[in-house]
Chains A and B, each alone.
Chain A
């Protein structure tokens, strides 16, 4: 099925570990973005990209890196995990003016 694929679905990390959350879309969308979802706070934008080779910071970028080497992929890297990064992470893609398509999410726990 066409859409946004996120891996892994669940992950437990120890404080200080690094990891990469994967996101891939097969709809040839220009824009991709990463959000985190925390109770009572809705979804907050971490980083976004308007095309291959172009990324920018969102509302809560600290502690995260991204790159966009291809149209299809937009990985999110946690450099040194902290308990404050425990959250559910969603990747999304869209074309300008179009609706966003979201992945099914990655539930991350940092202990």
Chain B
């Protein structure tokens, strides 16, 4: 079945550092890909998405490019802030509209 694998956390960075969180997927077809963010005590919020190969999703300074050749959707940000501290989930959906999540990566940004 479809699956998503994220880099293991936790990840701790200093403010203004460059961020990469790796995400790879396994799917039989052509899924849509998502990054969700979960702030402490809250539900998940959609951060960005891409629906076809070579699409780039972007939001709030975060970017991710749908790479079909490497089945990847890595999340990047050029300069992180303390307010970016959260848990980040990579996910895919295809067909019957069922989201499949990675295990999540906890990110902590120190001032």
**Does chain A have a CB within 8 A of B66?**
no
Chain A residues closer than 8 Å to B34, beta-carbon distance: 99-100
Q: Is B103 an interface residue (CB 8 A)?
A: yes
Contact across chains for B97 and A94 when beta carbons are under 8 A apart: yes
Interface residues of A in 42-95 (CB under 8 A from B): 42-45, 48, 50, 56, 58, 90, 92, 94
Number of interface residues of B (CB under 8 A): 21
Complex contact A100–B46 (CB within 8 A): yes
Count class of interface residues, chain A: 20 to 34
Contact status B43-A33, CB under 8 Å: no
Contacts A42-B89, A42-B103 given; indicate if A105 touches B98 (C-beta within 8 A). no
Which residue of the partner chain B has the closest CB to A104?
B43
**Are A58 and B43 also in contact (CB < 8 A) when A99-B34, A99-B49 are?**
no
A-B contact count (CB 8 A): 55
Known: A42-B101, A58-B98. A102 touches B43 (CB 8 A): yes
Q: Across the interface, do A43 and B43 meet the contact criterion of CB distance under 8 Å?
A: no
Determine the chain A residues whose CB is within 8 A of the CB of B97 once the complex forms.
31, 48, 50, 94, 96
Instruction: Name the A residues within 8 Å of B31 (CB-CB).
Output: none
Q: Are A43 and B42 in contact (CB under 8 A)?
A: no
**Contact A40 B43, CB 8 Å, known A31-B97, A58-B98, A96-B97:** no
Query: For residue B32, which residue of chain A has the nearest CB?
Result: A97
Question: When chains A and B are docked, how far (Å) is the Cα of A96 from the Cα of B51?
Answer: 13
A-B contact pairs, 20 of them (CB 8 A): A31-B97, A35-B99, A42-B4, A42-B101, A42-B104, A43-B44, A43-B89, A43-B101, A45-B99, A50-B96, A56-B96, A92-B44, A97-B51, A99-B49, A100-B34, A101-B46, A102-B43, A104-B43, A105-B42, A105-B43
